Structure 1
């Protein structure tokens, strides 16, 4: 059988590693795919850059579009990144030319995935993007193919290694968010401008893709409620540990009576749960489906080797002639989705309030919560150390943290109660609110 001829646009750390893997695994790929897989064309911004690759015998194209339209290329691999030129137009051109496409570009799939999927359907070719979410974790394939006969109720996970690394260090070493972020930047886990990661937007992009696959909805990042980890303090992590929880930034998509709810936010999970054991830069995704116990996939969510592994697996599927609908079903059958108001979310909550040292403060807080039918599972109030003035009389101390864990309630009930507490002027500053996933 003729070889699958691969053209690669982008020779950064991932692209270069893909070339190495295909060369190193030449015999294994040929045996598994039933045909050889060969890189026949590449392009990058600089031809002169030293990459440690032997590119003799491989055509150097002048730009991505040249590879996308090259009749001697069967599969176009886009590893440039970005949502516009040159990545987007090159992928469109490749699909229109009847070439299957493999990409690791989550931003592009989140923004233009529906248009690209429709184009792939029209021309009967594959659009594979396993590396776009979770890198080496085969979650796309699991949802699109392995669980094709299962109704998914909920999918949630740790989808950003930077945030998980920061929260792990904060918990284990008692460091502040800022200290851990600087260290993550020094080690290359966080960008110089880390906002996209720590504010939750990277996780939201990935979640919007997973939700589409899990629930048959159109990809819509705008439908995701997003909250990052910048407000998390060592106090929150210590409190979580005392109460039997661990703090993670989770992306959660769940089927509700009102529709599909998608949210990204810091979450307390039981320390005994599988997701709580995932530390450092590792990613994890848990899938709850009808008739099956929860499935948790854990692995490297980033890095050249992990990402290249997923890219090559997608190329191998093209070589085998495997073509699944990009989002698990035809684009025309994907349901529209809108942003679910967070007030509909129901679950337990962790509340940290800086209570003023006044008589009756705790009672006032309890009353306001009770007015919204919020029941308290546990409460911790740290007693202040009272200093004395020159006459020996106690001096009121600074506000002290009151930590409460509620039973399941709704988001709007929590917000109404806290607004009332703030109007009563019995707390200082902004309350910390963290949702709890029981399992």
Structure 2
């Protein structure tokens, strides 16, 4: 893997990808594997923004059943299994306990009903060669069994629990890098610390991008047939460089996580706050990983920082829902945060981001804005990034008129 922005400026590419998070890395891998000449550009380090600030889960999205987003849940569960296949050294099952309280939406009948849907939608969860990767169906637990497994769960009004499995990533940053390295093995050119300064236009056709090599402060043109914007929380800023022609917007949701002393045993615990929001406590490298928050961020993405107030407020919320933890600021060994890009057509209205869909949108700007040679992919989640990339690369083939080549990323192991 060699970084050479000047050399990239002397080539012409089939596809230029702007954004080196999990989506851009997945697109680079898919497109390179299919034989396209690919350039991948990232203004920071690969996977250093939203992709590094995840909950470290590859999951179906149990809470999306609340809004009957069955298609999203099914896609996520399918992609969970595929991640186990292509990155078995980084993705593995983890047991969750979901305690039930009362008889409403937090009650055992409601949670069991949701889990029946979840298991049904993950009918292929055991279609794996490795028995250790096969995820079992959910199991209903009594109050006594729940507290035996995780004594820290609040016993007040506890009616039992459900034991189920999702998957955890050992390192989401490493997984992004392995998509990048896999793309490089198949000929992709990559450049981190390379910022898009402008979009090269010839009338209504995008010809490439003007970039600044942050390490040398030199400016280059990189040209290609299709330019793809998958810049995550910066995607609307990139679209803004189309000189106001694009009408698509996004909302940024701020999420933080804290790493603390261990406050559960061997299970992750999924918890629901009185106002209906979920968070979890998961074992991770001998500590507890707790997340996440979910609120609108109204500043520019480069301005985002986790504040002490963010941490203190989250600790209070955790202690209210899981009193056994009894966390203090001194218990927080590490914290991190990021911005989730959420598709929202009208960004002038107040949005409740927790309930907003995590679906992704793919924009062909020729059809929607009259601008040729430019595609954007916005929204989505880490788990579904590979499938989003498949659809984006399919669109590249459609736009360029090349004979379509089959996507193989669902069965091809990643580098490493």
TM, length-normalised to structure 1:
0.25
Q: Which has the higher strand share?
A: 2
Return the structure number with greater helix share.
1
Bigger radius of gyration, 1 or 2? 1
